[in-house]
Copies of this chain bind each other. A is one copy, B any other.
Amino acid sequence: MEQKNKRFKKRDAILDCVRETKVHPSADWVYARLKPDISDLSLGTVYRNLALFKEQGLITSLGTVKGVERFDGNTDPHVHFICCDCGAVDDLMEIQLPTELTCAAAASCGGSIQSSQLIFTGKCRKCQN
């Protein structure tokens, strides 16, 4: 990974960072994670590239948790669990949304459906004590 084209060095590092973690990071988390290795990285660049990746479909957005947008480098459709206490986001890979539901939604909404998102909210094991 080290000898990439310098032109895209930061861009690639940002994408890799989102893809290699399971924390469903925020822009700020990515910045803090990369800053020690890339000392001249700026937060604006992180925001700009995340927006670009999202537009290109390389990553997805989970929406905002406690006011900050969270991203997911895993673009396979899957279900999420969000802890309302600590804001942790976990994948629930064992669960799948039945395709019949999406079909029914398409029939019912009057428009076209591009994606779906199923999120369970509650308290994670740690926050339950």
Interface residues of A (CB under 8 A from B): 63-64, 79, 81, 83-84, 90, 92, 94-95, 97-98, 101-102, 104-105, 108-125, 127-128
Q: How many copies does the complex hold?
A: 2
Closest to A110 in B: B125
Q: How far is the CA of A119 from the CA of B115 in the complex (A)?
A: 8
Q: How far is the CA of A104 from the CA of B121 in the complex (A)?
A: 14
Q: How far is the CA of A117 from the CA of B83 in the complex (A)?
A: 13
B121 engages A108 (CB within 8 Å): no
Identify which of B79, B81, B112 contacts A123 (C-beta below 8 A).
B112
B102 engages A124 (CB within 8 Å): no
A128 engages B111 (CB within 8 Å): yes
Closest to A114 in B: B122
